[in-house]
Amino acid sequence: MTIAIGNDHAGTNYKFSIIKYLEKKGIKIINFGTDTNDSMDYPDAIHPVAKAVEIGNANFGIILCGSGNGAAMTANHHHGIRAALCWKNELVELARAHNNANILSLPARFISEKEALEFVDTFLNTKFEGGRHERRINKIPVIQC
């Protein structure tokens, strides 16, 4: 499995913890984020993550910024991307099980490092339920009206 990860300055410390956690599990990481706490523009790190998932170079993506909102909004502009902003473990589980989220967006300023790792674990271990949810997922892409 390959995970693309991207972050702005607000998510740097959590990113390093997530990478260490995933590498211990034998997961390959593609790091598109900043490695410093110097201010930077989140889209510069998020677009490459979304692109990697979009074209199949990564199975999933994990993105982090202060609120998680800007990161999710950026990623969701890519075809086939379903980035879910999650701040509770139940949201992570539903994002995967019902929405088949392929990118997890974490609000680094509003969750603990322990929660971030728990959310990553839930994200990677929850399967999409399909069924009635598949029909809804197929209606997400913009169509001509």
> Residues with catalytic annotation?
98
For 65, 103, 137, the CA distances from 133, given in Å and listed in that order, are: 28, 17, 6
Cα–Cα distance measured from residue 9 to residue 23, given in angstroms and rounded to the nearest whole number? 22
Helices (H), 12-82: 12-24, 43-54, 69-75
- Sign of the C-alpha dihedral, residues 56, 72, 29, 91? negative
